[in-house]
Amino acid sequence: MLGRGGAAPLDEVFGVLSQLLAAHPGPAVEEVDAGEALGRVSAEALGAPEELPAHPRSVMDGYAVRAADTFGASANLPAYLTISGEVKMGEMPTGGPAPTECYRIATGGLLPPGCDAVVMLEHTVPAGDNLVEVVKPVAPGGNIIAQGDDVQRGETLLPAGHRLRPCDLGLLAGLGLRRLKVFTPPRVGIISTGDEIIPPEKTPPPGKIRDMNMAGLLAMVQNQGAIAVNYGIVGDREADFVDQMQRALAECDMVLFSGGTSVGVGDLGERVLGKLTTPGILIHGVAVKPGKPVIVAAHGHRPVFGLPGHPVSAAASFALLVRPLLASLGGLKPPVTATAEQDSATSIGPPKADHGDQAVPHDRLRLPRPVATAILQRNLNSAAGRTDLVPVKLQSTPEGILAAIPVLGKSSALSTLVRAQGWIIIDAHLQGLDSGSQVAVYNFDTPDLF
Amino acid sequence: MLGRGGAAPLDEVFGVLSQLLAAHPGPAVEEVDAGEALGRVSAEALGAPEELPAHPRSVMDGYAVRAADTFGASANLPAYLTISGEVKMGEMPTGGPAPTECYRIATGGLLPPGCDAVVMLEHTVPAGDNLVEVVKPVAPGGNIIAQGDDVQRGETLLPAGHRLRPCDLGLLAGLGLRRLKVFTPPRVGIISTGDEIIPPEKTPPPGKIRDMNMAGLLAMVQNQGAIAVNYGIVGDREADFVDQMQRALAECDMVLFSGGTSVGVGDLGERVLGKLTTPGILIHGVAVKPGKPVIVAAHGHRPVFGLPGHPVSAAASFALLVRPLLASLGGLKPPVTATAEQDSATSIGPPKADHGDQAVPHDRLRLPRPVATAILQRNLNSAAGRTDLVPVKLQSTPEGILAAIPVLGKSSALSTLVRAQGWIIIDAHLQGLDSGSQVAVYNFDTPDLF
């Protein structure tokens, strides 16, 4: 077990999580209606069953022409074309204009036989009932979208492991793909421990406090597109904890519990996980602040996280450790355009070379992309060898520069996070950050943007 | 009407939208369970009904002490304290240790009377059954969270107009706030027009194409936390369009239709809006590319947008015009920490001074914050006076620099958006961007992050 008696560096923890992922059978697959697929993760590469558009179409209002008939046309020396017909919207034109003739066409109209371009209405002048002056030439292919210009038949549109966006759903609708194979989202069981914890709807008698971690963790899990299941508060009674943990392990793909990881309750979490899980506890203590007293365990391929009882520590541990694992268990892959370099640029996990040919999908075990760059407004100290997360408020200076103001406070004071708009990270190899440094600002609330 | 015969500059369009918002009565308010409030927008400032914590608590495992009893303690000259009791988790201690005595206490335990600090277990050495050596002094208030340290009674925790995040829900749970007043999300009706458009589940006969805009726009609206209502395809028959537009205007807070805005169908959209809406059409044509043939109209305080039929143009118009208006209609306000300078830094709307004391909430009529900064990989031309949106693919160079590669293609080719991960914007006052420029990358799919 890593971290026992100390704290495991974050990169070692990522190594352990990567191995867990490598052994994981992967998420189940289900089929959904395209109308229900927003935000879901594609479980197969989506290929085009047909080409788009199926026929060349006009992308402008104007006249369908042979481009050659307009060559050299200008305002001084226009080309005169006879309007010999009209393309009806939604109908396939059976005939087309003869040379030096044209057809009226609207945006989206199908190009008639013989034509290879559309002259924009704006580049024409009416010259009688059935005659038009073309005052600017159009090149072959001008103002049309050719057959297959948008999508070629058989082309891969989207890879597996892609979170479906509105534009993706638009294109899939255009191709008639109405049933989609997507990954079943991971089911995450959440347990709160602690004799002092009561449900939020109750009024705490002296000595008790309302459970903040359950509400926060349920929402964090939901925000990542996973299913959160509330297994309630078990107090510090080992038998209750064992019962709920057994249920959660049987019903979920991942289990989180908060509290019960520090020595005060005789390491309740450690005892329960020792009894119920195989291979059991992999890590006890991670070199991060806040969030040191974390337990990482596994039961078969189900990860189990014992998160700190302090709400800010629990949120930081979730952001750093649970969030990327959840993304992988949900089937998310990095976008196809990402290169190995891109991953390592923001990676906080072990470099790929460490794992050779094991095909460990730890490219997801990384920070999301920062959402802003800002200037730090005060010195921050940090112990070398420890990764620090600091909540920051963002404010613009009169010069339009974004300023990151650390919101300092105890890790049990959740109001510090509520007053913040993001986090900055002090890498383990640094002993702090100077006021005036440029810092990357992270937001862990949303799924990865790209 | 602005833009008639030409195209209204984007800042004028924002001016018109701002006036529309200024006259809007604002969204309705409803009450929801806190467990259902993730992502909803607070309709009132949320104040703390009580302080948190209600009593001073330990944030460490260790011994509750009088700090003065540890002053000067060191490994060579430890302070000896008698362990005269223990704080039970979840119970209010009735008595406390006498001077030079201490109580055992776990993280979260309530500080007993007489104590003002907790010595961490790590700074003690057992010295017999009921005796402990303290090897490091603790300051008064050390390792405890004092009464009200997290939240003061009556303190405003969250402003009205704030999208609720997981940490917010955690804190509200801690304060027992279980029913929350939130804004009713705007209801947005969507209509597709065009005789060539058929539903995506049908196989298009020659001349027809499947509707891509409905699927895309439904998802774009949903992604902003609003309710999307599908009013189907009306073809180019004016009577059908009038029927569905009337229904949508009666049932929704905003109506979008795509297609029918260019001259090809005799400006079907303009005719229908002219008949059904008062004050009617405010703008016809916006100086943006893609997305020029946009109609902005209003019926009472209900905005109506006629979006282009080309899917990329429709997406761009949604991103620039509909999205910020939808945020305002959903009750979202800029975060309290945002200053006027911050807004103007990324504003594409008119400066505040233009509207004097009208209290126009056009601070939301702005681009979201960029989600990345990248280096443009090719020259892009743009007409001065026109705002251009260009989809970009993002790729990292071996040096770890993020490169933005424009995905060029016709505005009817939705695959260009599917291949992209974001947009860059060429401001109206620029005539293009040079390869090698640093550019801000926007993602319009998610609600504003901060």
- Do the Cβ atoms of A212 and B170 come within 8 Å? yes
Measured between CB atoms, which of A89, A145, A414 is closest to B412? A145
Question: Which of the residues A414, A438, A444, A446 would you substitute to probe the B interface, choosing the one with the greatest number of B C-beta atoms within 10 Å?
Answer: A414
ipTM for the whole complex:
0.91
CB A306 within 8 A of CB A241: no
Token digits of residue A60: 């402008």
Measured between CB atoms, which of A89, A402, A414 is closest to B196? A89
Query: Residues B118-170: pLDDT tens digits?
Result: 999 999 999 988 999 999 999 999 999 999 999 999 999 999 999 999 999 99
The alpha carbon of residue B262 is apart from the nearest alpha carbon of chain A, in Å, by 8
Measured between CB atoms, which of A206, A339, A445 is closest to B165? A445
Residue B222 has pLDDT above 50, yes or no: yes
Beta bridge partners, A403, equal A375, A395
Domain limits, CATH 3.40.980.10, in chain B? 10-28+185-329
- Do the Cβ atoms of B174 and A212 come within 8 Å? yes
pLDDT at B371: 86
- Do the Cβ atoms of A449 and B89 come within 8 Å? no
CATH superfamily placement of domain B10-28+185-329: MoaB/Mog-like domain (3.40.980.10)
Question: Which of the residues A188, A347, A418 would you substitute to probe the B interface, choosing the one with the greatest number of B C-beta atoms within 10 Å?
Answer: A418
The alpha carbon of residue B19 is apart from the nearest alpha carbon of chain A, in Å, by 26
- Do the Cβ atoms of A396 and B345 come within 8 Å? yes
A219: which chain B residues are within 8 Å (Cβ-Cβ)?
38, 165-166, 169-170
Query: Residues A127-182: pLDDT tens digits?
Result: 988 999 999 999 999 999 999 999 999 999 999 999 999 999 999 999 999 999 99
Q: Which residue of A has its CA nearest to B293?
A: A60
pLDDT at A338: 40
Secondary structure class of B130 (helix, strand, coil): coil
The Cα B225–Cα B161 span in angstroms is 13
pLDDT at B350: 33
Residue B62 has pLDDT above 90, yes or no: yes
B205: which chain A residues are within 8 Å (Cβ-Cβ)?
92
CATH 3.40.190.10, domain B31-52+150-183, yes or no: no
Bond into A293 cis (ω within 30)? no
CB A83 within 8 A of CB A104: yes
CB A309 within 8 A of CB B108: yes
The Cα B88–Cα B2 span in angstroms is 72
Question: For B375-391, what is the mean pLDDT?
Answer: 95
CB A349 within 8 A of CB A18: yes
Q: Which residue of B has its CA nearest to A410?
A: B145
B449: which chain A residues are within 8 Å (Cβ-Cβ)?
371, 421-422, 443, 445-446
- Distance from chain centroid for Cα B262: 33
Secondary structure class of B32 (helix, strand, coil): strand
The alpha carbon of residue B284 is apart from the nearest alpha carbon of chain A, in Å, by 16
pLDDT at B186: 97
For chain A, give the number of residues. Answer: 450
Domain at A10-28+184-329, CATH from 3.60.15.10, 3.40.980.10, 3.40.50.2300, 3.90.1720.10: 3.40.980.10
Residue A232, phi then psi, degrees to nearest 5: 80, -170
A59: which chain B residues are within 8 Å (Cβ-Cβ)?
310, 410-412
- HEC string of B280-301? EEEEECECEECCCCCEEEEECC
Q: Which residue of A has its CA nearest to B347?
A: A400
pLDDT at B359: 36
Query: Where does the pLDDT of residue B450 fall: very low under 50, low under 70, confident under 90, or very high at 90 and above?
Result: low
Which is it for strands B372-376 and B438-441: parallel, antiparallel or unpaired?
antiparallel
The amino acid present at B79, given as its one-letter code, is A
Radius of gyration for chain B, computed over Cα atoms and rounded to the nearest angstrom: 30
pLDDT at B404: 96
Among the listed residues A403, A239, A147, the one whose alpha carbon sits nearest the alpha carbon of residue B345: A403
CB A347 within 8 A of CB A297: no
DSSP characters over A151-181: B-TT-EEE-TT-B--HHHHHHHHHTT--EEE
Measured between CB atoms, which of B150, B195, B222 is closest to A89? B195
Which is it for strands A187-192 and A227-233: parallel, antiparallel or unpaired?
parallel
Per-residue CA distances from B60 to A216, A273, B70 (Å): 22, 22, 17
- Do the Cβ atoms of A371 and B373 come within 8 Å? no
The alpha carbon of residue A382 is apart from the nearest alpha carbon of chain B, in Å, by 18
- Do the Cβ atoms of B311 and A174 come within 8 Å? yes
pLDDT at A449: 67
The alpha carbon of residue A374 is apart from the nearest alpha carbon of chain B, in Å, by 12
Domain limits, CATH 2.170.190.11, in chain B? 57-145
What integer best gives the mean pLDDT of chain B?
A: 89
Count Cβ neighbours within 10 Å for each residue of B162-195 and write b for 16 or more, e otherwise. bbbbbbbbbbbbbbbbbebebbbbbbbbbbbbbb
The torsion defined by the Cα of B137, B140, B144 and B146, in degrees rounded to 10, comes to: 180
Question: Which of the residues B59, B418, B419 would you substitute to probe the A interface, choosing the one with the greatest number of A C-beta atoms within 10 Å?
Answer: B418
Tell me the whole-structure pTM to 2 decimals.
0.91
The alpha carbon of residue B384 is apart from the nearest alpha carbon of chain A, in Å, by 19
A201: which chain B residues are within 8 Å (Cβ-Cβ)?
176, 178
Residue B1 has pLDDT above 70, yes or no: no
B176: which chain A residues are within 8 Å (Cβ-Cβ)?
200-203, 210
DSSP characters over A4-39: TTS-B-HHHHHHHHHHHHHT-----EEEEEGGG-TT
- Do the Cβ atoms of B219 and A108 come within 8 Å? no
The alpha carbon of residue A280 is apart from the nearest alpha carbon of chain B, in Å, by 25
Question: Which of the residues B42, B52, B107, B446 would you substitute to probe the A interface, choosing the one with the greatest number of A C-beta atoms within 10 Å?
Answer: B107
Residue B283 has pLDDT above 50, yes or no: yes
The alpha carbon of residue A237 is apart from the nearest alpha carbon of chain B, in Å, by 12
The alpha carbon of residue A210 is apart from the nearest alpha carbon of chain B, in Å, by 5
- Collect all residues with Cβ–Cβ distance below 8 Å to A345 and sequence separation of at least 6: B396, B400
Low-confidence ranges of chain A (pLDDT < 70): 1-5, 261-266, 334-364, 449-450
Q: Which residue of B has its CA nearest to A346?
A: B400
The alpha carbon of residue A385 is apart from the nearest alpha carbon of chain B, in Å, by 19
CATH annotation of A372-441:
2.40.340.10
Q: Which residue of B has its CA nearest to A197?
A: B90
Q: How many CB pairs under 8 A join A and B?
A: 352
- Do the Cβ atoms of A339 and B219 come within 8 Å? no
| Cα atoms in the Cβ-side hemisphere of radius 13 Å centred on A329 | 28
Bond into A56 cis (ω within 30)? no
- Do the Cβ atoms of A264 and B219 come within 8 Å? no
Measured between CB atoms, which of A170, A212, A409 is closest to B173? A212
A342: which chain B residues are within 8 Å (Cβ-Cβ)?
395-396, 400, 402
Domain limits, CATH 3.90.105.10, in chain A? 31-52+150-183
The Cα B287–Cα B296 span in angstroms is 13
B173: which chain A residues are within 8 Å (Cβ-Cβ)?
200, 210-212, 214-216
Query: Residues B353-364: pLDDT tens digits?
Result: 333 333 334 455
- Do the Cβ atoms of B371 and A373 come within 8 Å? no
B340 or A147, which is more confident? Answer: A147
The alpha carbon of residue A247 is apart from the nearest alpha carbon of chain B, in Å, by 22
Token digits of residue A431: 């002993």
pLDDT at A235: 84
Among the listed residues B376, B187, B165, B369, the one whose alpha carbon sits nearest the alpha carbon of residue A371: B369
Name the fold adopted by B57-145. Answer: Molybdopterin biosynthesis moeA protein; domain 3 (2.170.190)
The alpha carbon of residue B402 is apart from the nearest alpha carbon of chain A, in Å, by 8
pLDDT at B3: 59
Residue located via tokens 């902005």: B296
Per-residue CA distances from B301 to A107, A111, A117, B26, B350 (Å): 31, 41, 43, 10, 21
- Distance from chain centroid for Cα B129: 57
The alpha carbon of residue A12 is apart from the nearest alpha carbon of chain B, in Å, by 23
Question: Which of the residues A307, A412, A442 would you substitute to probe the B interface, choosing the one with the greatest number of B C-beta atoms within 10 Å?
Answer: A412
**How many other C-beta atoms can be found within 10 angstroms of the C-beta atom of residue A34?**
21
B340 or B450, which is more confident? Answer: B450
DSSP characters over A199-215: -TTSPPPTT-EE--HHH
The Cα B159–Cα A12 span in angstroms is 41
CB B23 within 8 A of CB B354: no
- Collect all residues with Cβ–Cβ distance below 8 Å to A420 and sequence separation of at least 6: A391, A392, A393, A407
**How many other C-beta atoms can be found within 10 angstroms of the C-beta atom of residue B379?**
12
A217: which chain B residues are within 8 Å (Cβ-Cβ)?
166
Beta bridge partners, B257, equal B191, B306
pLDDT at A4: 54
The torsion defined by the Cα of A234, A237, A239 and A242, in degrees rounded to 10, comes to: 50
- Do the Cβ atoms of B166 and A211 come within 8 Å? no
A438: which chain B residues are within 8 Å (Cβ-Cβ)?
none
- Do the Cβ atoms of A59 and B411 come within 8 Å? yes
Domain limits, CATH 3.40.980.10, in chain A? 10-28+184-329
**How many other C-beta atoms can be found within 10 angstroms of the C-beta atom of residue A206?**
12
Q: Which residue of B has its CA nearest to A92?
A: B207
Angle (nearest 5°) at CA B140 between A309 and A387: 45
